[in-house]
């Protein structure tokens, strides 16, 4: 039925099967839509956020998906600026993932603020000393860049291509993509960094506070590094999931292997620096605040295990697997390491966002706990649903994997 819209020379499921596939994601979107209406209409009392947990599940989702979406800017940088030709077979996927992550995050932030109608104050009345202002500016500008990077792919659709003007727009955009990729790299570097800086600058919260260089706490640089270490792995995971579901090879191994190796090296570097960061924190910030490392884990469910999980199981372990040629060449180990790598970044963000407010600073205050409401989960899951939907639509109707026809030649009829 929709075959005139499908890319040339590829095989896709029937429209009926595709419709059934979109149903769960539409359901998630409906759930999130209902939650969003409730939150906007009745206010943030629909959530379990409180004066203690000012940042909660949505910010974890936000920071996690922005970290995972970093594959877009890093792959774009490697493809268009460094000139790694093999990555051309995966850059479209990275851009689509990046677009989904960033647009989803901005939509969530719009609901997260108490006065969404005043959202523009961030830009107009910007307090440039706030890390969150830097985040907002860079994220918004970078979403524009991602849209520009996404547009040529949309214009590659078989029917849209037939319109000469649109095809020309797409080609001309593509020709100067290096300019946009460079701008995007700059913007993305700063917002990934300032997302980390947001927590490092909270100097009165010893659990999050970090020292740093000039105005940037060490978390600034660590967040950039962790994002580019796990972003490519998330791109690999999405590709592998698509390959698994469509039961065919979509991206040549050299692109995947290059990204995996890159990810491994960056993750290893990140883990080494993160170890120094933890040591500097344990022997610097923490005793200066009159605390010991173990004081943070006196109460509540969070123990040292969470740091061990972050550093050893989701840090050094995937780095070793990705750095071993045999490890990353084995499909199972590659996926396992990528999953751990992505889990590590989510855990890292969770530590900064949820564990920081849970641990009291005043000695006579107590540990607090927080569980999200269905409205909070709804909005978080809606972004997941939105992601699956946009990715599926892009896969079905756009030539997202340029090597697909080459790797899966259709039988000659």
What part of residues 367-386 is at the interface with other proteins (CB under 8 A)?
368
Nearest to 187 by CA among 69, 268, 85: 69
Which CB sits closer to other proteins, 198 or 346? 198
Which CB sits closer to other proteins, 34 or 52? 52
Q: Considering the complex, what minimum distance in angstroms separates the CB of residue 192 from other proteins?
A: 15
Q: Does 234 bind other proteins (CB under 8 A)?
A: no
Q: Considering the complex, what minimum distance in angstroms separates the CB of residue 203 from other proteins?
A: 6
| CA atoms 331, 337, 342, 346: torsion sign | positive
Among all chains, which residue has been given the structure tokens 């999130």? 32
What part of residues 50-69 is at the interface with other proteins (CB under 8 A)?
50-55
What part of residues 117-136 is at the interface with other proteins (CB under 8 A)?
118-119, 121-134, 136
Which tokens go with 343? 């889990």
Which CB sits closer to other proteins, 208 or 340? 208
Q: Considering the complex, what minimum distance in angstroms separates the CB of residue 72 from other proteins?
A: 16
Which CB sits closer to other proteins, 78 or 145? 145
Among 144, 160, 282, 339, binds other proteins (CB under 8 A): 144
Coil, helix or strand at residue 342: helix
Q: How many residues bind other proteins (CB under 8 A)?
A: 75
Q: Does 284 bind other proteins (CB under 8 A)?
A: no
Which CB sits closer to other proteins, 47 or 246? 47
Give buried/exposed letters for 181-190 (b at 16+ CB in 10 A, else e). Answer: beebbebbbb
What part of residues 14-53 is at the interface with other proteins (CB under 8 A)?
43-45, 49-53
| CA atoms 207, 208, 209, 212: torsion sign | positive
Rounded CA separation 351/278 (Å): 13
Question: Any idea how long the chain is?
Answer: 413
Which CB sits closer to other proteins, 373 or 392? 373
Among 6, 34, 141, 407, binds other proteins (CB under 8 A): 141
Q: Considering the complex, what minimum distance in angstroms separates the CB of residue 383 from other proteins?
A: 19
Cα angle value 163/168/171 (rounded, 5°): 125
Distances (CA, A) of 174 to 150, 164, 179, 298, 394: 10, 15, 10, 55, 18
Which CB sits closer to other proteins, 42 or 329? 42
Q: Does 165 bind other proteins (CB under 8 A)?
A: yes
What part of residues 100-119 is at the interface with other proteins (CB under 8 A)?
112-115, 118-119
Among 173, 306, 309, 407, binds other proteins (CB under 8 A): 173
What part of residues 309-368 is at the interface with other proteins (CB under 8 A)?
356-357, 361-365, 368
Rounded CA separation 225/392 (Å): 29
Q: Do the bridges between strand 216-217 and strand 212-213 make them parallel or antiparallel, or are there none, so unpaired?
A: antiparallel
Which CB sits closer to other proteins, 69 or 184? 184
Binding span for other proteins by CB under 8 A among 30-38, 140-148, 230-238, 317-325: 140-148
Contact 392, 25 (CB under 8 A): yes
Say which DSSP state 213 is in: E
Q: At what angle do helices 91-112 and 374-397 cross, to 10 degrees?
A: 150
Which CB sits closer to other proteins, 207 or 270? 207
Binding span for other proteins by CB under 8 A among 99-107, 176-184, 224-232, 328-336: 176-184
What part of residues 183-212 is at the interface with other proteins (CB under 8 A)?
183, 186-187, 198, 201-206
| CA atoms 44, 47, 52, 57: torsion sign | negative
The string of DSSP codes covering 239-289 is HHHHHHHHTS--S-HHHHHHHHHHHHHHHHHHHHHHHHHHHHIIIIIHHHT
Q: Considering the complex, what minimum distance in angstroms separates the CB of residue 198 from other proteins?
A: 7
Which CB sits closer to other proteins, 165 or 413? 165
Q: Considering the complex, what minimum distance in angstroms separates the CB of residue 122 from other proteins?
A: 5
Q: At what angle do helices 91-112 and 218-246 cross, to 10 degrees?
A: 120
Rounded CA separation 136/147 (Å): 17
Q: Considering the complex, what minimum distance in angstroms separates the CB of residue 195 from other proteins?
A: 12
């Amino acid at each position: 039925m929709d075959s005139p819209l499908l890319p040339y020379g590829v095989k896709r499921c029937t429209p009926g099967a595709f419709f059934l596939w979109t149903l769960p994601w539409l359901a998630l979107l409906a759930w999130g839509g209902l939650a969003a209406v409730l939150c906007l209409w009745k206010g943030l009392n629909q959530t379990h956020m409180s004066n203690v947990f000012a940042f909660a599940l949505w910010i974890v989702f936000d920071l996690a998906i922005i970290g995972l979406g970093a594959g877009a800017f890093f792959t774009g940088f490697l493809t268009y600026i460094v000139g790694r030709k093999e990555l051309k077979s995966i850059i479209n996927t990275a851009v689509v993932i990046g677009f989904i992550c960033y647009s989803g995050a901005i939509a969530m932030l719009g609901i997260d603020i108490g006065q969404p109608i005043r959202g523009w104050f961030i830009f107009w009345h910007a307090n440039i000393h706030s890390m969150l202002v830097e985040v907002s500016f860079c994220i918004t500008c970078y979403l524009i860049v991602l849209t520009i990077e996404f547009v040529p792919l949309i214009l590659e659709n078989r029917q849209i291509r037939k319109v000469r003007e649109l095809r020309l727009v797409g080609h001309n955009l593509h020709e100067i993509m290096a300019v946009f990729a460079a701008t995007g790299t700059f913007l993305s570097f700063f917002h990934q960094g300032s997302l980390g800086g947001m927590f490092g600058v909270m100097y009165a919260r010893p659990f999050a506070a970090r020292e740093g260089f000039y105005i940037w706490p060490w978390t600034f640089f660590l967040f950039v590094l962790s994002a580019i270490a796990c972003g490519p792995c998330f791109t690999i995971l999405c590709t592998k999931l698509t390959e698994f579901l469509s039961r065919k090879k979509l991206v040549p191994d050299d692109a995947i292997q290059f990204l995996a190796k890159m990810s491994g090296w960056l993750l290893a570097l990140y883990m080494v620096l993160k170890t120094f960061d933890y040591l500097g924190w344990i022997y610097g910030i923490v005793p200066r605040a009159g605390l010991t490392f173990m004081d943070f884990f006196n109460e509540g469910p969070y123990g040292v295990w969470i740091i061990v999980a972050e550093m050893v199981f989701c840090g050094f372990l995937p780095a070793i697997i990705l750095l071993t040629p045999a490890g990353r060449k084995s499909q199972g180990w590659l996926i396992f390491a990528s999953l751990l790598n992505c889990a590590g970044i989510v855990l890292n963000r969770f530590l900064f966002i949820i564990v920081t407010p849970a641990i009291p600073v005043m000695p006579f205050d107590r540990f607090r706990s927080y569980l999200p409401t269905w409205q909070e989960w709804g909005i978080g899951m809606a972004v997941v649903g939105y992601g699956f939907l946009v990715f599926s639509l892009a896969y079905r109707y756009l030539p997202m994997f340029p090597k697909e026809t080459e790797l899966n030649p259709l039988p000659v009829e």
